[in-house]
Amino acid sequence: MNKSMETQGRDQWSSKIGFILAAAGSAVGLGNLWKFPYTAGMNGGGAFVLIYLALIIIVGFTLMAAEIIIGRHTQLNAIGAYRKIRKGWGWVGGLGVLAGFVILSYYSVVGGWVINYIVKAATGAFSTSDINVLGGMFESLTSSTWEPIIYHGLFMAITLGIVIGGISGGIEKFSKILMPSLFIMVILIVIRSVTLPGAAEGIKFFLKPDFSAINVSTILAALGQVFFSLSLGMGCMITYGSYLSKDENIPQSATLIPLLDTGVALLAGLAILPAVFALGFDPAGGPGLVFITLPAVFAKMPMGGLFAILFFLLVLFAAITSSISLLEVVVSFVVDEWNWSRAKATTIISAAIFALGIPASLSLGVWDTIIFRDLVFFDALGFLTDQILLPLGGLMLCIFIGWVWGVDNAVKEATNGGKVKFTIAPIWGFVIKYLAPIAIGYIFITGLIG
Ligand code: TRP
């Protein structure tokens, strides 16, 4: 494979829809299905949703376009891309590669829980709607020593198996199957959820903004969620953009991907919150909403057993199309810069990420030592990525385009040298130069102090 790939040049997406589905697949993940509904539930429902939407439009679209532009322009991995445009900037991409490595180590642990929950759902373990029993079940899984590590290994093996196939033959091929299935499953679950008696309360909570619930912490929570959900701030979209052909339309792709991601986040909220209300549970249930509250909801719902399997399968598909993008960021760097074969790079990196996930998983059980502030290792990895590496990466991305490479050069790439329409380019330039770096710098600093 290597010889012929070298002579034929770099692998590319075989179609525009393939790229869109892979990039949307990267964006749609545990962030949408697990984090978004409970974060909205804890931050005033509709008020949070409204701010989230505003930030997606201002910051999300802008940075999505920015990363794809850098990737397509350089046709290189995150580190190589920054360095090719301006010497001395490779380290920004380096922070991204590091972030990808670290995020995947704990993301895969959660992905493993999801596989375990599919098994539980299929074997009828959710026959009770007693929150205490279900809470105990979740706690007992996550704090066990061996079981979650085995499932984490299984999740990493699936991720490896796809990434090793390359861009068009691996990531794109699977995204084209997994993403449409995901859309169908989420719509089926929404229909089930909103037709439950009493669902109207939940729909109202989710869609009707209560402006008194908006405050600084709502805004900060929403901005952090925008980054994580759109896979921004670590060169993921630089890497995916680097496999994009020179005649694809970047402004259009950068609009479609956030739209799809936001669509699924809203549908996930509509799938989960009305059911939670209809069956009398607490929408502010926090991170346990999907793993503890939802199984209780399924137990009380007609045909709940079937919907439980469907739901966790949906979460697994979403998690896999995201985990492959995280792995690809690291693999692409090693293949480009160290000239490793894709097979060798994928295998060795996956093994290393699996290894880092082991202490992360154990830190929720036997190794529950506080290592930083009040955080165990698992949460400390999350803090390092969400509060430090991603916002720093996003901030440097804005500074790099706005002040180092130049908005004009970026716009030239975005329009394929003037051939493609980018009507809002002046607004885009203003946001990337001033508005976005100030907003992101603000959360970065408050996140560190807070
Ligand atoms: N966006 C994914 C989710 O919502 C997670 C993810 C994939 C990610 N690649 C990323 C987050 C890059 C930050 C950066 O679950």
Q: How far apart are CA 136 and CA 200, in angstroms?
A: 30
Distance 47 CA to ligand 1 centre (A): 23
Going by alpha carbons, the residue nearest to atom 6 of ligand 1 is 231
Reduced to 3 states, what is the DSSP secondary structure of residue 375?
Answer: strand
> Does residue 113 contact residue 152 with C-beta atoms inside 8 Å?
no
Cβ of 27 below 6 Å from ligand 1: yes
Cβ of 231 below 6 Å from ligand 1: yes
Cβ of 108 below 6 Å from ligand 1: no
Tokens of 131: 């929150």
Going by alpha carbons, the residue nearest to atom 8 of ligand 1 is 231
Q: Report pTM.
A: 0.94
Q: Where are the domains of the chain?
A: 3-449
Judge: domain 3-449, CATH 3.30.1910.
no
pLDDT string in tens for the chain (450-residue length): 443 344 346 899 999 999 999 999 999 999 999 888 888 888 888 888 998 999 999 899 999 999 999 999 999 999 999 999 999 999 999 999 999 999 999 999 999 999 999 999 999 888 888 888 998 999 999 999 999 999 999 999 999 999 999 999 999 999 999 999 998 988 988 888 888 888 888 888 888 888 887 777 777 778 888 989 999 999 999 999 999 999 999 999 999 999 999 999 999 888 888 888 888 888 877 778 889 888 888 888 888 899 899 999 999 999 999 999 999 999 999 999 999 999 999 999 999 999 999 999 999 999 999 988 889 999 999 888 987 898 899 999 999 999 999 999 999 999 999 999 999 999 999 999 999 999 888 877 876 776
User: Exposure of 430 by Cβ count < 10 A (0-12 exposed, 13-18 middle, 19+ buried)?
Assistant: middle
Cβ of 37 below 6 Å from ligand 1: no
Distance 299 CA to ligand 1 centre (A): 30
Phi-psi map region of 130: left, alpha, beta (phi>0 left; psi -120 to 50 alpha): beta
Tokens of 313: 């399968």
Going by alpha carbons, the residue nearest to atom 9 of ligand 1 is 231
Cβ of 285 below 6 Å from ligand 1: no
Cβ of 253 below 6 Å from ligand 1: no
Cβ of 229 below 6 Å from ligand 1: yes
Choose among 252, 211, 290, 279: nearest CA to 422.
252
- Residue with token string 């990895």: 381
Cβ of 264 below 6 Å from ligand 1: no
Residue 387 CB coordination number (10 Å): 17
> Does residue 227 contact residue 439 with C-beta atoms inside 8 Å?
no
What residues form DSSP beta bridges with 375?
Answer: 372
Q: What is the 3-state secondary structure (H, E, C) of 111-155?
A: HHHHHHHHHHHHCCCCCCCCHHHHHHHHHHHHCCCCHHHHHHHHH
Q: How far apart are CA 146 and CA 29, in angstroms?
A: 25
> Does residue 78 contact residue 238 with C-beta atoms inside 8 Å?
yes
Cβ of 101 below 6 Å from ligand 1: no
* pLDDT value for 40: 85
Burial profile 28-67: b = 16 or more Cβ within 10 angstroms, e = fewer: bbbbbbbbbbbbbbbbbbbbbbbbbbebbebbbbbbbbbb
